[in-house]
Amino acid sequence: MLCNYYDIALDAGDEAFSVDASNVTFGPGCLREAGDVARSLRINRIAVFTDDVLAKTEHVSVVLDSLRAAGVDIALYDSVRVEPTDVSFKEAASFAADANVDGFISVGGGSVIDTAKAANLYSTHPAEFLTYVNAPIGGGIAVPGPLRPHIACPTTSGTGSECTGIAVFDLLEMKAKTGIASKLLRPMRALIDPTCTATLPANVVASSAFDVLSHALESYTARPYTQRPAPAAPSLRPSSQGANPWSDMGCAESLRLIGLFLERGVTDPNDVEARHQLMWAATLAGIAFGNAGCHVPHGMSYSVAGLVHDFCPAGYPQDEPIVPHGMSVIVNSPSVFRLTSPGNPDRHLDGARWLGADVADIGPDEAGPVLAQRIVELMQLTGMPNGLQGVGYSAADIPGLVEGSLPQRRLLDNAPVDIDREILTTLYEGALSYW
């Protein structure tokens, strides 16, 4: 039994949850369907978003060939920045505004898909940049209407961006990550071809998979939708609506698959089954967190990525320091789940069991530590950094990390326990190192 929401006092809480199902095609070779999908969406001229490395790969060639064969005009934008910024979002939006297209297709990881979302938004509904950015950093103004069709083609098994209405970027002047969140940003279609993961470096597969792991655990342990205040109008119900029975299903299966296939998929690039199952786990977790929302590990990750000192992990571009998204999340997760467990210990125990921990004799008081320890074991097995120190931070950085994460209320308020400055400080202290 995965869901039991009926014993929770409703008070002024929401009594309904919404299911925004993603329109997904999953399977080896499905990138070849891009042209047919574009035609079915009545796209005559399409903006193809990718980055300069992916632009030289077979994945992009397959998509371009399919679009040309279907008679779709192409405007290629291959300048997407890995870990996009407000500046790179604006450049992409400017391209889209000039390209005179009636649809978008993104081929890449979360950075590419998020950039296409932003370019679609600002070229369809032009506004001063901070208008739509999450409050309190931005204006938090609702997107005024539908966007043009966007077909998302993820090439990593991680972000789930193809299934969500969130676009994340670095706001350079604040040295902090933030985002734009609206159901209207969700891509209209996703083509998820697991063969794209065959050539990914081990470190990229691992970082992406830990992002998936945390998406699923955060969505499953999030504050239930019944404990979120009811919206003023049903149409204002947020995407981050809290744990709900629909998202629970995806979280459970995603965590089970990660428990089975994470180590295999990272350590053996020829293990086709493992890499394909990790891609499916990413899809399930993306659908889940697109309807439930993440919480504290992701809220903390924004400043871990934004304040990077000199960390340059293998498998990623070496031209500037970067804490890849999945690493910036997972270095926080064990510390967070130790603390949030009293909010719903049974769910923390479920997570530990699905990830492969032996929980036969574990009581509710031990659920958090057992789950945290299982995550740490998986991090060690797959070469992840040892907490914040492993990505270049020390205790002296904690005040800055706390300041950077405090504005992420959309995420922090979705936690099963209350999160304030003092608790965030404790969480970062607990995340400094794990072994």
Using a 10 angstrom Cβ sphere, with 0-12 exposed, 13-18 middle and 19 or more buried, the burial of residue 152 is: buried
Least distance in Å: CB of 161 to Fe ion? 8
Q: Which is nearer to Fe ion, 163 or 357 (CB)?
A: 163
Residues numbered 365-394 forming contacts with Fe ion, rule: CB under 5 A: none
Residues numbered 266-285 forming contacts with Fe ion, rule: CB under 5 A: none
Q: Which is nearer to Fe ion, 148 or 295 (CB)?
A: 295
Closest alpha carbon to 258 in 164, 168, 377, 339: 377
Q: Which is nearer to Fe ion, 35 or 324 (CB)?
A: 324
Helix or strand run (H / E) with residue 26: strand 24-26
Q: Which two tokens stand for residue 412?
A: 């922090």
**Span of 17-25, 70-78, 85-93, 209-217 interacting with Fe ion by CB under 5 A:** 209-217
Residues numbered 230-259 forming contacts with Fe ion, rule: CB under 5 A: none
Least distance in Å: CB of 296 to Fe ion? 13
∠ CA 371-376-377 to the nearest 5 degrees? Answer: 100
Using a 10 angstrom Cβ sphere, with 0-12 exposed, 13-18 middle and 19 or more buried, the burial of residue 355 is: buried
**Span of 62-70, 177-185, 211-219, 365-373 interacting with Fe ion by CB under 5 A:** 211-219
Helix or strand run (H / E) with residue 192: strand 189-192
Q: Which is nearer to Fe ion, 33 or 211 (CB)?
A: 211
Q: Which is nearer to Fe ion, 217 or 388 (CB)?
A: 217
Neighbours of 118 (CB within 10 A): 26
> Is the four-CA dihedral 241, 243, 249, 252 of positive or negative sign?
positive
Least distance in Å: CB of 138 to Fe ion? 20
Using a 10 angstrom Cβ sphere, with 0-12 exposed, 13-18 middle and 19 or more buried, the burial of residue 140 is: middle
Least distance in Å: CB of 215 to Fe ion? 6
Least distance in Å: CB of 411 to Fe ion? 10
Q: Which is nearer to Fe ion, 77 or 289 (CB)?
A: 289
Least distance in Å: CB of 11 to Fe ion? 31
56 SS3 class? helix
Q: Which is nearer to Fe ion, 164 or 195 (CB)?
A: 164
Which listed residue (14, 211, 218, 263) binds Fe ion by CB under 5 A?
211
Least distance in Å: CB of 109 to Fe ion? 11
Question: Strand pairing of 24-26 and 45-49?
Answer: unpaired
Residue 162 binds to Fe ion (criterion: CB under 5 A) = no
Closest alpha carbon to 10 in 230, 221, 220: 230
Least distance in Å: CB of 293 to Fe ion? 11
Cβ atoms 287, 159 nearer than 8 A? no
User: How far apart (Å, rounded) are the C-alpha atoms in residues 351 and 375?
Assistant: 10
**Interface size with Fe ion, residues (CB under 5 A):** 1
Q: Which is nearer to Fe ion, 133 or 213 (CB)?
A: 213
User: How far apart (Å, rounded) are the C-alpha atoms in residues 413 and 408?
Assistant: 9
Q: Which is nearer to Fe ion, 117 or 148 (CB)?
A: 117
Least distance in Å: CB of 212 to Fe ion? 8
User: How far apart (Å, rounded) are the C-alpha atoms in residues 49 and 57?
Assistant: 13
Residues numbered 290-349 forming contacts with Fe ion, rule: CB under 5 A: none
User: How far apart (Å, rounded) are the C-alpha atoms in residues 168 and 114?
Assistant: 7
**Which ranges of 1-136 would DSSP assign to H, the alpha helix?**
34-40, 58-69, 86-99, 110-124
**Span of 69-77, 123-131, 207-215, 332-340 interacting with Fe ion by CB under 5 A:** 207-215
Name the closest residue to Fe ion (Cβ): 211
**Span of 173-181, 203-211, 401-409, 412-420 interacting with Fe ion by CB under 5 A:** 203-211
Q: Which is nearer to Fe ion, 91 or 114 (CB)?
A: 114
Least distance in Å: CB of 298 to Fe ion? 6
**Span of 1-9, 206-214, 279-287, 363-371 interacting with Fe ion by CB under 5 A:** 206-214
Which residues lie near Fe ion (CB under 5 A)?
211
